[in-house]
Structure 1
Amino acid sequence: MINILLADDHPYLRRGLMQILRDEFPGAVIGEVANVPELLEQVQKLRWDIVVLDLTMPGRGGLEALHELKRLCPNLPILVLSMHPEDQFAVRVLRAGGAGYLTKESVPQEFVRAVRILWKGGKYITPKAAELLAAYVDRHGDTEQPLHDSLSDREYEVFRMIAAGQTITEISEQLALSIKTISTYRSRVLEKLHLSNNVDLARYAVEHHLLT
């Protein structure tokens, strides 16, 4: 019997995923949480075979949650679901210890297959993700790697939100961080990317295909 924990703040999506899993894995134990604190509590309280994690969880966010999950449970397979294309986050997720990256538009076609692969101890890596990983490895053997590769996961997240037109206040509320903290991240991003303002950030993101 398989134990699967669903972590997503959208109840309708959780119900849909739960129904798919119940149809494909009769007798499975399926849990659900809506935020990162509940997620971290559950993985420490019970034994789970797989965690299905939404990348855009409110508050601390999916990438930060992924890092914390791997610290608490290094061997726990984590399948990350995202609304973002693979070229924007797949490599970061896999580098952080995720066992698979699946875009939400691929559900339900690939979802069950991904879960089965993780349950057998494998990693769910699409041909596109494999190509991106190979390109990342090639870049890091090259002095001409993109500047945004130097951003931390949180810096990258804040960078994309600013580039998409969100204000510091909006980002602060969405990530549950202070305005001062978000401003600090913005300053670090500008420095690392050698840019001057938000318009430059938006232009850079568009030129490097980093926005959905």
Structure 2
Amino acid sequence: MSAKLFIVDDHPVFRAGLKTILMSESDFSIIGEAQSGEEILQKLKEKEPDLIVMDINMPGKDGIETTREIRKLNKNVKILLLTMFSDEAYLKEGLAAGAQGYVLKRAVDTELINAIRMVIGGEHYIYPTLIPYLYKQADEAVEALEHAKPHLSQRETEVLKLTALGYTQREISEELFVSIKTVETYKTRIMEKIGATKRSGLVKYAIKHNLISYD
């Protein structure tokens, strides 16, 4: 059974050319086209495509905003975004909006056909020259996670410092004028927040975040 495709682009000549290319494939059928985001949103009330090939830069609702709106109406339809620009911001925003693919318009031939088949098959497709942007995004996310610091209250920070410096629970309770049981509660809470399972983990965390230092 052929995949049902819908084309969205505000340039009639480009739409016609794209339609000709896609109709030459036996496993594709074009069930409709639209020239704006508003039009495709209206037509989706009657049509049920498997995949929408959509331009990003359109007057009115652009392709990314339209993708977000489509996701509210239909979570199953696949969306492949087309653009003239090799733009990192468009790529990230488009994927975040719910698109499964991102292709440059200069690749509307074999590359686009392969992309459509991949997306229909349940995969994501990113134009090869744009893939480094995703690696960069992943690296930034990992770096941010590594530098993330759980919020500790002032008293929790004091208990952490003293524990890392080798104070016993009794010594900490005397230093901070609290009960030993309270110290135990603070330590348990701290370990949960920073993901530590033993004292060495508290020491490492304290050193890493410059709460203590050893000469």
Identify the TM-score tier after normalising by the shorter chain: 0.5 to 0.7
Q: Which residue of 2 aligns with 1:199?
A: none
Q: Which residue of 1 aligns with 2:100?
A: 99
1:115 maps to amino acid: I
Q: Which residue of 1 aligns with 2:39?
A: 38
Q: Which residue of 2 aligns with 1:55?
A: 56
SS in 1 for 2:44: helix
The structure that has the greater radius of gyration is: 2
Question: What is the RMSD of the two structures over their aligned residues, measured on CA atoms?
Answer: 2.0
SS in 2 for 1:121: coil
Q: Which residue of 1 aligns with 2:73?
A: 72
2:95 maps to amino acid: L
Q: Which residue of 1 aligns with 2:141?
A: 140
Q: Which residue of 2 aligns with 1:8?
A: 9
Q: Normalised by the size of structure 2, how large is the TM-score?
A: 0.62
Alpha-carbon distance in structure 1 between the residues aligned to 2:35 and 2:10: 4
- Contact in 1 for aligned 2:3/2:27 (Cα 8 Å): no
Q: Normalised by the size of structure 1, how large is the TM-score?
A: 0.62
Q: Which has the higher contact order (CA 8 A, sep 6+)?
A: 1
Alpha-carbon distance in structure 1 between the residues aligned to 2:59 and 2:116: 24
- Contact in 2 for aligned 1:91/1:129 (Cα 8 Å): no
2:62 maps to amino acid: G
- Contact in 2 for aligned 1:86/1:128 (Cα 8 Å): no
Decide which moves more: 80-89 or 25-34.
Answer: 25-34
Q: Which residue of 2 aligns with 1:111?
A: 112
Shift of 1:51: 0.3
Shift of 1:26: 6.1
Shift of 1:134: 2.2
Shift of 1:129: 3.3
1:111-160 residue CA offsets vs partner (Å, 9 max, x unmatched): 111111112122112344332122112223445xxxxxxxxxxxxxxxxx
2:117 maps to amino acid: R
Shift of 1:27: 6.7
Alpha-carbon distance in structure 1 between the residues aligned to 2:108 and 2:5: 16
Matching of residues 55-204 of structure 1 within 5 Å: 55-142=56-143
Shift of 1:73: 1.0
Shift of 1:99: 0.6
Alpha-carbon distance in structure 2 between the residues aligned to 1:65 and 1:142: 32
1:140 maps to amino acid: A
Give structure 2 stretches of 5+ with no counterpart.
Answer: 145-215
Give structure 1 stretches of 5+ with no counterpart.
Answer: 144-212
Q: Which residue of 2 aligns with 1:206?
A: none
1:108 maps to amino acid: D
Alpha-carbon distance in structure 2 between the residues aligned to 1:100 and 1:41: 23
SS in 2 for 1:45: coil
